[in-house]
Structure 1
Amino acid sequence: MYYDFIISGIVVLFLCGLAIMLDLLLKRKYSHYLLGVMFGLITIFVMCSSKIGMPSSALDFRHITMTMAGFIGGPVTALIAAVISALYRYSLGESGAMGGIIIIISFGCFGTVLGRNLRSKQNGKKLVFWFLVGIAMSVVLLLIIRCFPPQAKHAQAILRIVSGPYFIITPLATTIIFNFYYGVYEYFSKASILNAIINSCPINIMIFDANGPIMVSKNIKTELKTYPFIENLFPLLHPNRTWLNAEEPQHREITTEDGKHFVTDLSSFQMPSGENAFVAIVNDATDLKREQEKLRAANEKFYKVFQLGPHMMAIIRKTDNKFVDVNHRYLEAKGFEYGDVIGKTPIEIGSSESHYEEFIQAVEEQGSVNNIEGSLVTKYGSTGTVIVSVETIHIDDQECYLFAYNDITEMKRMQTERLEQLTKNLELEADLAKSNQLIADIINNMPDGFYALDHQLRFTFVNNKAEELFQKTREEIIGRNLWMIDPQAQGTLLEQNLQKARSDCLPITFEYLGSLHMGSWHQITAYPSEFGLSVYYRNVSEQKLAREKLIKSQKETVSILESMTDCFYAMDQDLQFTYINRAAEIAFKKPREELLGKKMTEVFKANDTALLHYNKVMNEKRSVTFETISKALGDKWLELSVYPTETGVACYFRDITDRKLAEETLRQSEEKFSKAFHGGPIMMMLATIEEGKFIDVNEALCSSTGYTREEIIGHTSKELDFFVESDKRQMIKKILMKQSKTENVEFDFHTKSGKIRHGLSWSQIFYLDGQQCHITGLIDVTEQKRIQKEMAKLDRLNLIGQLAAGIAHEIRNPMTTVRGYLQLLGVKSEFATKKQTFELMISELDRANSIITEFLSLAQTKQAEMQSINLNDILNHLYPLLEADTFTRNKQICFISGEIPNIELNEKEIFQLVLNLTRNGLEAMKEKGLLTIRSYIEGDKVVLSIADEGCGIPPENLDKLGTPFFTTKDDGTGLGLATCYRIAESHNAKINIDSSPRGTTFFIIFPIPKKSRQK
């Protein structure tokens, strides 16, 4: 019986193992249903395999198969397995059917609960845990058998028979089958992960050994269709296969017959069998090769453009501003050899440092510089003019500047000559205007007479001048014959020339001595017509003597009129040219004979805008003036004035291309001013002169004062309390009104926070919308003023020190002699009564000697020897002396040392500095006062602070501190703080003072050397 029982358990393990492997191999979509059927059949098989002569429900292992069904497949698998096995058990009948079905259902639910809570947890891999689960399953199984025994009268006997086997085999079987599940699951999971990585990885991966591929990614399989050689990659890598034994990762490049390039990276590893295998990453580098070839071609093109271009070009490294390369045109223009330039800076070969720095700053701010005028200095000192453009480029992973120069020296010379010629032309135009005005006056005021005669020489019309000529009224003249009015003229030159004009049908001009006004010469012009003659009289008596001048003037007038730049043409209603003047003929670049009588649209591609205006003028009978671009005249801007006439239109036009360019230049100039105003580092403002109201300010002023533009614009300087001295603005206003500008005016101004800053300004008057305004530039020179004061103080220290050094030796020698004799006299018995006097004299000599010593310390010019010392060591060494001095004065002292690095110090001088400052602090305090000495790090500085609890220093004395001989003590020399400032200067340190009525703190700030910062 027990043998069969054990065999049944082994069969259960085997079948459950098959089910586990099936679960891991099947897709999740169908595994639940298939596993349910499989576990149902396994359970039926287990129930059928019982050969013992008692009910199978008490001896089979259906509880293990159902637990595995719920654990592996979940509730769906457990339900399907339970339905199949329960139906089978129900069909068998027999006693104990209810208990068997309950066992099936209970353990299916038990397995489902275990799978949901423990399947993915680490408890599933522990032997003891599953052994305890098996025991629990045995207990549950025996309870079901006890409650629903197969045979009620043999219940006790059955329990005695099956209890032992179940308590032994069930825990063992449970432990084995579940750990087997987790082992197989883990193995297949790792294999699945590796397979997923290789198949889903976007990189072409191949695992192979000496015999060929072992595993290939999907990308490789895709490539295999086009590039079969990848499958035989390993023989292509190296013919002799030396790479098979290589330990280091290897890199191979492969070129196929069709020109494809592949890059392969190899890494070796050892397989479980002990053989070497390789992981290969294969990448198609064909596009990369092509890009590299394109890059090489682009570099070659750049080099050709750089070397063969028409302009001077240079490449300068950004880090050290040295030349990397220049082209031959640059060398020719500068007069240098290639080796003279490469590796040097532009300043070293003669360029202006300020101009170069301006270019570099502009590039840093704007990204590039285009067409900026500059100077070019050659090797021999000659200077030319160039247009400079600068761009930032990368050469060999280095950031560089590419300078392009266009030599415009000759063009500038030509511009100067053109300017001179333009000046002459303007003068000529002025003379021409005067001449035109003179001609107009002559025409309007000349005493010309006019009359018309019919074929019988009867008067048909006379003008006012003709009435004056004949000394008769118009009524007396009209209708009468010429010879009746002027009978003396008959038979004279007048009659002859009038007859000739009639017979020849040609105009005739002649001079005639008048018969009516004897002695008066007239120039007479007769024009024949179909109606008779038109006769013009002009009194030329006064002009007779100036005829040659008049002829010359007429020639000049004709020449000027013909050379005028204004163009004119007329067209009829069909837009046919009826007249074209010489200027228009030149502008059209066609002879007028070729244009007259033709339509404009036949000769030129007419502008739609112009055609629209022509029709509008003809229809509305109103003149218009408009501007347009003429394609026919070479894309020039024209200003056309079109006037209606009886037959069509009359048009005047002029070339305004230069004016348009000037307008564009003005727009660009205004844009540049705006950028310079708002983007410059100098504080700039626009304000009215009368009220001082701000019109505009730049960002530099806002950032310096703390205001926003909205808080400033529209307000006056008085409303903002800008000027510290209110009368300063009135003074600046008076200067502006008198001189139209101010230069280098200094004044103090308030920031938004109330701080007072010192500024240096300059202003210029201009008019904006008819209102007098000024533009002002302002530089904050507060820091410069402070530095000037410090420099003046140091100059006084040096002067006093030099004076002390000169006289100290001469004073000390006689003082030493006097002190020696006083000591000798003091020990003699006859002067015993004067001993105290001698001692007083000696102490005063010693005091004078100490003052001289302080003088000499100010005069010390030798650089003090510095050592790397920790400031705390000096203070700790000095502290007992300071503590004793404090104790004798009935005051307190406190030293707080911080962690600070070693710095370069002269121990002796620092002793003197600390002693002077601490004794000054002790003297400033009352009894029980506390003197605090601290050392600490602040940024990259070591700070020593000495704070007392005295009454503070008056504000008016703060600026005088450190000045030699300035003291507020009755017995002071005024040299102690001066010595401290001299010592601080020799250590490159700064002394800052914070004073209030509650006390004064001196801050001595020492720089930390670079090597100490690195530590």
Structure 2
Amino acid sequence: MTVEDSEKRYRALLLASSDVVYRMSPDWGEMRELLGRDFLSDTVAPITDWLQKYIHPDDQSHVMEVIKEAISTRSTFQLEHRILRADHTIGWTFSRAVPLFDHAGEIVEWVGAAIDITGRKEAEEALKKSERKFSTFFHAASVLMTITTFEEGRVIDINEVALQSLGYTREEIIGKTVHQTHIWDDPADRELVLQMLEGQGSIRNLEIRIRGKSGKLVIGLLSAESIVVDDERWILAVTRDITERKEAEEKIKQLNAELQVANKELEAFSYMVAHDLRNPLNVMSNSFQAVELLCGERLPQECREVLQLGYQSTVRMNQMIGALLDFSRMAHVEPRREKIDVSAMAAEVAAELRLTAPERKVQFEITEGLTADADGNLLRVVLDNLIGNAWKYTVTQAAPVIQFGTLTMDGKQVFFVRDNGPGFEHSEEEQIFTPFHRLAGTQKVKGFGIGLATVERIVQRHGGRIWAKGEPNHGATFYFTLSEE
């Protein structure tokens, strides 16, 4: 084969190749030729500033170091580095050049080819960025996170929250299996996790019990995924620590159990009050009446007054016991809801109050057509107390007015009873529903301070709430709902 034929074949090979092809002088001081394939700018005439023209500034020194090493060892040059592309953007290339020798064994030229690996490098960088993001999230997450092998449960990685919760250092747990750390409170639970992952591929909010280095129990909600990395199955697990919540739930259960016991004791006490205390009261009351009946005419007026006072005291005590029993009963009564004409019920209460004191000229303003889904008997107790209180507290008013109606608050129906009586201080608003609490200056008004506490219980049993607003000498308003839904 002639030199001319060889040259033709070389040219044909260059034209057929999609790679960048270049020729360099023995010391790489001069680039003799470069076919850029639209990736790099072609070089037809030899140039000496090829380093500045084609190589990224940050990679130039490293490129020259590798070139000097290849020249000194008379070996192949190869390197991945950044280049300045023909479109003035930055790319990546894998460049490889071999030396050509003369008969004396001296390098006469370097011939090289470069491959565009920009896409690959960008994909690698995107993967690294994604891995950095995952690592940042993994270690900064506020939940326990672990990566373990599927079969052995060997810990591949664990975040800081998990280390703190379990009491391990990274060196103590990385590479260890679940059997070595005894992390599962019941090993059968992990077998269940593996079965669920085999069948479903993922787990969501499974309650688990694991133990830390010290034996401390951690209760958590586990969510997990089965993933494949480098042909190996791993488990990515996220566990939300609910230990404190579970302890609180157990405490609530315990308190509820204690409350049930207390309620039974209260019921027993109520029974005792109803029977054991009322019996001697009845005996005392009957005795006072008997003495009055048998000896009343022969007794001095002073003694008769003492007998009357004793009798009235027993009657009042009996009434107080009845009020206490009613108050206690309201804690256990379940409302039987039905549609109630509340306006008609309020009008009935008003009519009955007028009969008790016909001489009083009280103006009742009752909104018509108001209804509610409530227990009729219990709602009657509410209206008896609220409207009855308004009746009692307006007794000193020259022109007493009592209003009953509704308004809307936050989209909910709110009933109200309003009067123009003496009112009360704002500081009394919170205590007004406390049993036995009496407003300042109301000692002359009959009652035991149980009525409003009973009303509050009834409203609460309906799922509603009650509150009051008052102002001295400007009346009071009581608001209540019968459901918070």
TM-score range, shorter chain: 0.3 to 0.5
**Structure whose CA Rg is larger:** 1
Q: Which has the higher contact order (CA 8 A, sep 6+)?
A: 2
Scaled by the length of structure 2, what TM-score is found?
Answer: 0.45
